[in-house]
């Protein structure tokens, strides 16, 4: 049960970080974005806590990035043992790994935002 719940949490948080990044990069007012998330069906205790952290780039640890990465590896191992595909988890795991490599291991898992931002600077513009 814990692995299934953490699979959802880890992928959801990576998706939220990507959405904040997308909104910011497109010039949206981030407090309006936060209000839109909170007014709709995606609002949750997680979004109420983590969206403001993402907007402020406040990576004060509540749940460490290294722990999120370790969880994704545990979940992936269990999935592989059962012959289950985890495409979203695998992508999120890569982002958490990259964030840890940037030195964010003991920062909050919202620091995955920095791994997403780094991909902007290193991506091939011809894609």
Contact criterion met (CB below 8 Å) for 61 and 89: no
pLDDT at residue 116, rounded to an integer: 97
Residue 96, domain member (yes or no): yes
pTM of the complete model: 0.92
Residue-wise pLDDT for 37-87, tens only, equals 999 999 999 999 999 999 999 999 999 999 999 999 999 999 999 999 999
- Residue numbers of the domain that contains 87: 2-121
CATH number where 56 lies:
1.10.1040.10
Cα–Cα distance for residue pair 51/35, rounded to 1 Å: 10
Residue 26, domain member (yes or no): yes
- Cα-Cα-Cα-Cα torsion 51, 54, 57, 58, nearest 10 degrees, comes to 50
Cα–Cα distance for residue pair 84/107, rounded to 1 Å: 30
pLDDT band at 123 (very low <50, low <70, confident <90, very high): low
Residue 126, domain member (yes or no): no
Mean pLDDT over the full length of the chain: 95
pLDDT at 121 over 80: no
CA 9 to chain centroid, in Å, comes to 9
């Amino acid at each position: 049960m814990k692995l299934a719940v953490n699979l959802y949490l880890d992928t959801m948080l990576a998706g939220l970080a990507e959405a904040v990044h997308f909104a910011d990069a497109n010039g949206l007012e981030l407090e309006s974005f936060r209000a839109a998330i909170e007014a709709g069906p995606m609002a949750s205790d997680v979004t109420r806590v983590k969206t403001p952290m993402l907007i402020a780039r406040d990576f004060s640890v509540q749940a460490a990035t290294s722990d999120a990465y370790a969880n994704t590896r545990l979940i992936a191992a269990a999935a592989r043992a059962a012959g289950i595909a985890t495409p979203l988890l695998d992508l999120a795991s890569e982002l958490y790994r990259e964030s840890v490599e940037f030195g964010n291991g003991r920062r909050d898992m919202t620091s995955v935002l920095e791994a997403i931002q780094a991909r902007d600077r290193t991506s091939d513009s011809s894609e």
